[in-house]
Structure 1
Amino acid sequence: MELNLSNTVQLITIISFTAGLIKFLIVKPLQTAITALKEAITEMKDMLFRLDQDQKGMDKRLVAVEESAKSAHKRLDGMGVH
């Protein structure tokens, strides 16, 4: 095949069309999926942060309940109640 200006233009046109088609059929859907995954991960991180905060709050409340129960047991033991 002889390479001349006409053949070169045709070849560039075919390559450009193929690149555009690949971008439309493969790259764009992948970018959309990656963006959706990024948003889902951000939401999960936020949810985990809130759960961690809730857990810390429950831990503090549990310590207070345990201290109260310990105090109540001491009072009961002091009264001689078993």
Structure 2
Amino acid sequence: MTRITTGLVAALFVVTSMGVASAQAPATPVTPAAPAKMKLNKQSLKDMKAKWSANKGKLKACRKDVKVKGLAGDDRWFYIEDCMAKS
């Protein structure tokens, strides 16, 4: 009889604690990460490429300058963009 009573009390305790935990409000609403920056970067790169494809001769000269200077990564993109805007 004692085991049954102890088991029922333990079960009641578990059920009660679960009810209290589920009644609590969530801490803060989760806001999704804004993918706008990534889209802007991709879109700006697509725009650059479209503009450069229209001026292939100028692009070829700018690429030679980039090779001579040994630029890589973002520096390369920015240098080519500036070079294309100058001429």
Give TM-score scaled by structure 2 length.
0.39
Specify the structure having the higher radius of gyration (Cα).
Answer: 1
Q: Which has the higher contact order (CA 8 A, sep 6+)?
A: 2
